[in-house]
Amino acid sequence: MNLQTPQFEPQTQVDFVVIGAGAAGGIIAKELSSVGFQVVVLEQGPYLKEKDFDHDEIKNFQQHALVNDWSKQPTTFRKTPNAKARVQPAIIYGRMVGGGNVHFTANYWRFHEIDFIERSKLGTISGTGFDDWPITYAELEPYYTKAEWELGISGEPGPFDPPRSKPYPLPPLPIKSSGALLAKGARKLGWHAQAAPMAIIPQPYRGRSACSHCGFCEGFGCEMKAKSSTLATVIPEAEKTGHCEIRPNSYVRKIETDNAGRATGVIYFDEKKSEVFQRAKAVVLCANGAESARLLLISKSNLFPNGLANSSGLVGKYLMFNAGGFATGVFEHELNEFKSVVVTRIIHDFYDSDPKRGFYGGGGIDMRFDVTPIGFALGGALPRETPRWGADYKKALRDHYTRTVYSFGHTTSLPVERNSISLDPLTKDAWGLPAMRVTYKDHPDDLKIAKFFSDRGKELLEAAGAKKVWAAPVEEQQFGVHLLGTCRMGNDPKRSVVNKYHQAHDVPNLFVCDGSSFVTSGRGQPTCTIQALAYRAADHIARMAKSGEIKSA
Amino acid sequence: MNTEDVSRRLFLIRSLTGVSSAWLALRLPEIISAQEHAHHAAQSEAPTKLEFFSAEQATEIEAVAAQIIPTDDTPGAREARVIYFIDRALTTFDKEKQPQYVKGLRELQVKQKKMFKNSAKFSSLSSDDQIKVLKSIEKSAFFETVRVHTIIGFFADPSYGGNYDKIGWKLIGFQDDFYFKPPFGYYDREYNEAK
């Protein structure tokens, strides 16, 4: 524990309470505290450190060491608003200081210029909220650069990349067999392989040590501090300012408002489930694209009967998961994909939506085999005809683990209003709050683009020389990892929840910044854009706070 | 300090090339301690005492597990001591599955006696006959639980009692080393040689 880290009293009106210490919250806390504001960060999960991380599949995957635990925070799911919601795991997110940024795969793609202006270029899509963003790529570019340099991103520009004001701070990580095969297949097909931008450092950077290529990135915390999570980077810097307190194990139950409709602070349960009210001049909500919406809906009052900041009725709506198109291949020789980072080469030839295809959508491709031994043996990636037990099952395990790879097309999801986060009327969480209800059914175009990428994946694996290639049929998703769109940003208060500075249209001293701010889904790698948005939001929030534009209670 | 520790320290120094020695001196203990902590679990002693199963029950479950991942020219579930993993799971994080095992074992015996009139125990049947019995129950919840437990026990961190001597990991070619360096596999070596 840093001795300079302050401990604020709840009755002290601090400048900002930040809810959620993840990819966005960590950055906003650091940016605001480093210009002198007093910041309390409330994080529902624990404060783990590098010494707490290990490679234990049971602890990390079966016992939810780093993520939400459905036994305490149940979710319900239904495909459409008319269907009955059932209790089932429907979303997953990082639940710890650092958030999902700690266990994420570390893919770090910028959005392209087209992502912000697709409606202008392609026109409206009926039955959807397909729209332009209120900001352009050019406006966000300085913050992409800032994120890359402050956090430590490795990469190399590719032929389809948007313009950048500064090169990557770090060179690409060494190529793996998956990357070499992707490059080989792409060359044969006339596509273009490029180095994958990754939030993992190939050499020491800003006091952190280099990646040791242990292979435990996705789903695990990095004990080397080589993954550039907010836990390893900006959160310690925020604490060093002497103005920022990270308060873990703090489960927020309400953003409180006064009669004038201004946020006065935040009520949360501490570790012992006692209620605490932390006063603040302003609140920045960064709880992720599902929990931020749920908390606003829970924070209803006489003045805000439909939930806080919800005069548009759009809080929780337009949920987007991103879709995916897969194909699997087995090769003659060993790839040993269990070593090193998950992805080293990507393809962006099919990034843009092409009207000639007859449907909306686009994406990027990588090759990987991010399957740990238990997950693999339980059947995740074996050929379909493999028996489930016995001598032939054992033989299949032996022959496939080091030789299998799959092509992963990361694709778009259209913003559909009925796809949403809402409050379940029956189920409660372990704190007695309404459980999260997820309603989700992929738009038909989302399934078509996923199938398109599954087909490209088959071609790619065949061109790379796979001995055997197969693909499972594309199915509708019932589980979300990327949580996007539920408090969308926009200029029109009737059609969006926050303005282009992430300020709630209805509550001037409330800001929302995380995946919920997205207007469209991008191509399956949201973290880089979430973090660029966070840097940009922090800049504007600090500016407004200094000029007295944020009227607090 | 065993040889593994030494090699890990050497690696760390190699991997930090380009860093000033002062920086290294400052950070090395912290980095090594983090890595050693992460590595510790995989080194723990496996239990050798059963806490939930009786010896007789353990023999039966072990026979089932040994059909799920059999012993052939390489070791299987039996040699990987999966039975200790299951026993430990049933007394710790999977306690609620205890009744399923008790009931399942009873039903297994009924089935085995019905199919092979004069047989005493499932474990004393020939391998072919054991497979016949298991095929007849392979859709049951009990079999699915034993199947999943056997697989997890075969591949979990050895500190959980199974995957003895990393038998499961060795079978599939997985290594739990905490560092690797290129080339990682055949195709990246080929790629770099062609360049």
Give residue-wise pLDDT tens across range B41-78: 444 455 578 999 999 999 999 999 999 999 999 999 99
Q: Which of A186, A176, A535 is nearest to A343 (CA)?
A: A176
Q: What is the mean pLDDT of chain B?
A: 83
Q: How far apart are alpha carbons A409 and B18 in whole angstroms?
A: 37
Q: How far apart are alpha carbons A383 and A370 in whole angstroms?
A: 16
CA A93-A96-A100 angle, 5° bins: 35
Whole-angstrom CA distances from A398 to A144, A277, B131 are 43, 56, 21
Q: Do B172 and A377 touch (CB under 8 A)?
A: yes
Check if B33 contacts A (Cβ < 8 Å). yes
The residue-averaged pLDDT of B23-28 equals 44
Q: How far apart are alpha carbons B162 and A414 in whole angstroms?
A: 46
Q: Do A62 and B93 touch (CB under 8 A)?
A: yes
The residue-averaged pLDDT of B35-41 equals 48
Rounded CA Rg of chain A? 23
CA A391-A395-A398 angle, 5° bins: 140
Q: How far apart are alpha carbons A506 and A493 in whole angstroms?
A: 8
Q: Which of A159, A466, A496 is nearest to A315 (CA)?
A: A496
SS3 of A71-111: CCCCEEEECCCCCCCEECCCECCECCCCHHHCCCCCECCCC
Which pLDDT does position B49 carry in this prediction?
A: 85
CA-based nearest residue in chain A for residue B183: A176
Q: How far apart are alpha carbons A461 and B48 in whole angstroms?
A: 46
Q: Which of A180, A210, A394 sits opposite B191 (nearest CB)?
A: A180
Structure tokens at A531: 């973090």
The conformational region for residue A239 under phi > 0 = left, psi -120 to 50 = alpha, else beta, is alpha
- Contacts A–B by Cβ distance under 8 A: 173
Which pLDDT does position A552 carry in this prediction?
A: 81
DSSP letter, residue A526: -
Which pLDDT does position A524 carry in this prediction?
A: 95
Q: Which of A57, A340, A401 sits opposite B156 (nearest CB)?
A: A57
Examine residue B183 and say whether the peptide bond preceding it is cis (omega within 30 degrees of 0).
yes
Q: Which of A358, A359, A369 is nearest to A323 (CA)?
A: A359
Whole-angstrom CA distances from A119 to A126, A544, B46 are 12, 30, 60
Q: Which of B142, B139, B167, B2 is nearest to A373 (CA)?
A: B167
Residues 6+ apart with CB under 8 A from A530: A23, A24, A514, A515, A517
Q: Do A335 and B16 touch (CB under 8 A)?
A: no
Question: B115: distance to nearest CA of chain A, Å?
Answer: 20
Q: How far apart are alpha carbons B91 and A502 in whole angstroms?
A: 50
Model pLDDT for residues B118-144, shown as the tens digit of each residue: 999 999 999 999 999 999 999 999 999
Structure tokens at A403: 């030789």
Q: Which of A439, A440, A470 is nearest to A455 (CA)?
A: A470
Residue with tokens 């055997």: A468
Which pLDDT does position B45 carry in this prediction?
A: 53
Which pLDDT does position B101 carry in this prediction?
A: 98
Query: DSSP secondary structure string, A428-471?
Result: E-TTSPEEEEEE----HHHHHHHHHHHHHHHHHHHHTT-SEEE-
Q: How far apart are alpha carbons A56 and A66 in whole angstroms?
A: 12
pLDDT > 70: percent of chain B: 75
| Helix (H) or strand (E) segment spanning residue A397 | helix A391-400
Q: Which of A473, A486, A475 is nearest to A438 (CA)?
A: A486
Q: Which of A210, A223, A340 sits opposite B34 (nearest CB)?
A: A223
Check if B194 contacts A (Cβ < 8 Å). no
- Phi then psi for A28, rounded to 5 degrees? -65, -40
CA-based nearest residue in chain B for residue A51: B34
Q: Which of A251, A279, A229, A234 is nearest to A10 (CA)?
A: A279
Count of C-beta atoms within a 10 Å radius of residue A494: 10
Contacts of A196 in chain B (CB under 8 A): none
Residue with tokens 């926009």: A490
The answer to whether residue B4 scores a pLDDT higher than 70 is: no
Which pLDDT does position B6 carry in this prediction?
A: 41
Q: How far apart are alpha carbons A376 and A401 in whole angstroms?
A: 8
Which pLDDT does position A384 carry in this prediction?
A: 87
Which pLDDT does position A465 carry in this prediction?
A: 98
Model pLDDT for residues B132-175, shown as the tens digit of each residue: 999 999 999 999 999 999 999 999 999 999 999 999 999 999 99
The answer to whether residue B21 scores a pLDDT higher than 50 is: no
Check if B182 contacts A (Cβ < 8 Å). yes
Contacts of B159 in chain A (CB under 8 A): 56
Which pLDDT does position B43 carry in this prediction?
A: 46
Query: DSSP secondary structure string, A180-197?
Result: HHHHHHHHHHT--EEEPP
Check if B101 contacts A (Cβ < 8 Å). no
Kindly give the confidence (pLDDT) of every residue in chain A, 553 residues in length, as a single tens digit, with 9 standing for 90 and above.
445 789 999 999 999 999 999 999 999 999 999 999 999 999 999 999 999 999 999 998 888 999 999 999 999 999 999 999 999 999 999 999 999 999 999 999 999 999 999 999 999 999 999 999 999 999 999 999 999 999 999 999 999 999 999 999 999 999 999 999 999 999 999 999 999 999 999 999 999 999 999 999 999 999 999 999 999 999 999 999 999 999 999 999 999 999 999 999 999 999 999 999 999 999 999 999 999 999 999 999 999 999 999 999 999 999 999 999 999 999 999 999 999 999 999 999 999 999 999 999 999 999 999 999 999 999 778 988 999 999 999 999 999 999 999 999 999 999 999 999 999 999 999 999 999 999 999 999 999 999 999 999 999 999 999 999 999 999 999 999 999 999 999 999 999 999 999 999 999 999 999 999 999 999 999 999 999 999 999 999 999 999 988 888 7
Q: How far apart are alpha carbons A176 and A536 in whole angstroms?
A: 34
Q: Which of A112, A116, A289 is nearest to A197 (CA)?
A: A112
Residue with tokens 């005809």: A385
Q: Do B191 and A388 touch (CB under 8 A)?
A: no
According to DSSP, the residues that pair with A345 across neighbouring strands are A195
Structure tokens at B46: 């496996």
Q: How far apart are alpha carbons A155 and A516 in whole angstroms?
A: 27
8 A C-beta contact, residue A446 and residue A460 = no
Q: Do A207 and B27 touch (CB under 8 A)?
A: yes
Q: How far apart are alpha carbons A20 and A534 in whole angstroms?
A: 12
Q: Do B31 and A213 touch (CB under 8 A)?
A: no
